Structure 1
Amino acid sequence: MSILVSQAAEHWQFVAPLLRKPRTEADYDALALALDELLDIMGEDEAHPLASLVDIIGDWIEAYDEEHRPIPPVSGVEVLRSLMHEHGLTQSDLPGVGAQSVVSEVLSGKRQLNLRQVRWLSERFKVAMEVFA
């Protein structure tokens, strides 16, 4: 047995809880707590010896989220509504889309956003054009 495997076997009982993919909410919560603690230890040091453990746990948490808590797809119109609400904007505040009546038709689903409008919205809100697709 190599020294590395021997050392891992000797300390496994202490490390094993951190090196198990979450299968339940309790597992998920324990890993999320451990991840927070590890990030506190690492600080901003991306070269920290624990960085690879953080990557592994982060990947497992992300995979669990994707499987058990999928984010529902949203339309570009829903994104636009949300951004308008977040920024306190009215339909008249979006001249790059068109007149208030054009924005109203877009928001009601009567009209699709064209490429020029999507580009303007992307620049206006500093988001990728794809969010309005």
Structure 2
Amino acid sequence: MSPLIEQVAAHWEFVSPLLRKPRNEEDYDRLVAALDELLELIGEDEDHPLMSLVDIIGEWIEAWDHQHRPMPKASGVETLRYLMREHGMSQSDLPGVGTQSVVSEVLSGKRQLNLRQIRWLAGRFGVSVETFI
């Protein structure tokens, strides 16, 4: 047996809980807690020896989230409302969409965003045009 496998075998009972994909919520919660601890330990050090473990656990958590907690699709208007709230903006802060009454009609669903408005919003918020389509 190679020295590496001998070391792994000797420490497996301590490491194995971190090296299993989550099969249930308990496993998922355990991995999230471990990832939080690892990130606190590693800090900003991208070259830390434990960074590969962070990557592995992060990918497993992300896969679990995609399968068990899918993100609901938001409409362009819902996204616009959210971005306005996050940036503390009012309807008058969006001149590229139109007058305040035009923005009001868009937000109430009475008017659709056109391509020019979508391009302006994408540039204003630094997101892709698909965000508002």
TM-score where L is the length of structure 1: 0.89
Give the total of aligned pairs.
Answer: 133
Q: Cα gap change, 1:43/1:88 in structure 2, threshold over 3 Å: closer, same or farther?
A: closer
AA aligned opposite 1:45: D
Note the residue ranges of structure 1 that are not aligned, 5 or more in a row: none
Match of 1:98 in 2: 98
AA aligned opposite 2:49: P
Match of 1:119 in 2: 119
AA aligned opposite 1:11: H
AA aligned opposite 2:62: E
Deviation, 1:80, is 0.7
AA aligned opposite 1:8: V
Deviation, 1:125, is 2.1
- Equivalent residue runs for 1:84-95 within 5 Å: 84-95=84-95
Note the residue ranges of structure 2 that are not aligned, 5 or more in a row: none
AA aligned opposite 2:95: P
TM-score where L is the length of structure 2: 0.89
Match of 2:25 in 1: 25
- Which segment drifts farther, 37-46 or 72-81? 37-46
Match of 1:10 in 2: 10
Aligned mates of 1:2, 1:64 — CA distance in 2: 34
Alignment RMSD: 1.6
Deviation, 1:119, is 1.8
Aligned mates of 2:13, 2:115 — CA distance in 1: 57
Deviation, 1:87, is 3.0
After TM superposition, what 4+ stretches of structure 1 lie above 6 angstroms from structure 2? none
